[in-house]
């Protein structure tokens, strides 16, 4: 039996997968990837992302405004995000966050958007999905300030930031998600951060179609390749693959409890 794992973050609505989703989902199942969360990055596209989740049993979804789009898209409202949670397969808020690598000029609107997404996560109890790039200090400050205003749950998606931000997130009880970056040969410093993290706070993901792990690096990523990252994760954490997979499943079920509780309608 192939150990079961979950791709906690992918983008199945992107044109890279047009007309191929049945095969992509079958590939995932063959690799032991029995669930995936597809992420809507612009709220106006939520109907299309929702339709993918409705059409494919293993697929759940989340929605928010990506920080790189925060200046170009209408500012989400807390009520707008909360309304989406009525759908039985809507399981997370985001991705939101801060990205100063390419879009530092929109830092202020990114911060405003992030706080709105945090408020929605706090009110709904669904996990916040965070994108953080080149904004570690502001990210740690906002996550901590907001947590003091009221608890919420969170995953640092595709974590590739500093040890300081990892510690700030873990201290708040948040989760770190391993992407294909973790498996890159030159990512030892990042692997060291994960190796020091509590094993009950680790998820795995692809961020497909981006960041394919070896041996597919440089090609289109897909949920099946979560298995390659998870095998590197097991090695990093000093665990057998089956034990690592089982623990990440428990972690996903704990954080994404709505997905874990979902039953297919009769």
Q: What angle do CA 40, 46, 51 make, to 5 degrees?
A: 100
pLDDT digits (tens, 9 = 90+) for 44-68: 999 999 999 999 999 999 999 999 9
- Residue 265 is predicted with a pLDDT of 81
Please state, for a pLDDT cut of 90, what percent of the chain lies above it.
Answer: 98
Sorted by where each starts, the structural domains of the chain and their CATH numbers stand as 5-260 (3.20.20.140)
Give the CA distances from residue 202 to residues 14, 110, 114, 244, in Å, rounded to whole numbers and listed in that order.
Answer: 26, 26, 22, 9
Give the CA distances from residue 136 to residues 86, 163, 173, in Å, rounded to whole numbers and listed in that order.
Answer: 33, 10, 17
Above 80 in pLDDT, residue 266?
Answer: no
pLDDT digits (tens, 9 = 90+) for 136-175: 999 999 999 999 999 999 999 999 999 999 999 999 999 9
Cα(107)–Cα(112) distance, integer angstroms: 9
- Residue 1 is predicted with a pLDDT of 86
**Residue 215 pLDDT grade (very low, low, confident, very high; cuts 50, 70, 90):** very high
Above 80 in pLDDT, residue 34?
Answer: yes
């Amino acid at each position: 039996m192939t150990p079961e794992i979950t791709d906690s973050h992918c983008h199945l609505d992107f044109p890279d997968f047009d007309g191929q989703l049945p095969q992509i989902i079958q590939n995932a199942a063959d690799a032991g990837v029995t669930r995936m969360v597809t992420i809507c990055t612009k709220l106006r596209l939520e109907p299309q992302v929702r339709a993918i989740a409705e059409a494919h049993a293993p697929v759940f979804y989340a929605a928010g405004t990506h920080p790189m789009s925060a200046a170009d898209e209408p500012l989400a409202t807390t009520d707008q995000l909360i309304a989406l949670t009525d759908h039985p397969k809507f399981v997370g808020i985001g991705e939101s966050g801060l990205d100063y690598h390419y879009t530092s000029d929109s830092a202020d609107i990114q911060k405003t958007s992030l706080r709105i997404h945090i408020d929605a996560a706090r009110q709904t109890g669904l996990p916040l999905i965070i994108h953080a790039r080149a904004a570690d200090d502001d990210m740690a400050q906002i996550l901590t300030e907001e947590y003091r205003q009221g608890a919420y749950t969170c995953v640092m998606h595709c974590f590739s930031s500093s040890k300081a931000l990892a510690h700030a997130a873990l201290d708040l009880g948040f989760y770190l998600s391993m992407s294909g970056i973790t498996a890159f040969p030159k990512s030892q410093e990042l692997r060291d951060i994960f190796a020091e993290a509590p094993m009950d706070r680790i998820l795995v993901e692809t961020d497909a179609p981006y960041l394919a792990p070896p041996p597919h690096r440089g090609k289109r990523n897909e949920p099946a390749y979560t298995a390659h990252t998870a095998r590197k994760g097991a090695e990093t954490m000093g665990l057998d693959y089956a034990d690592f997979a089982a623990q990440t499943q428990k972690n996903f079920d704990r954080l994404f409890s709505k997905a874990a509780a979902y039953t297919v309608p009769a």
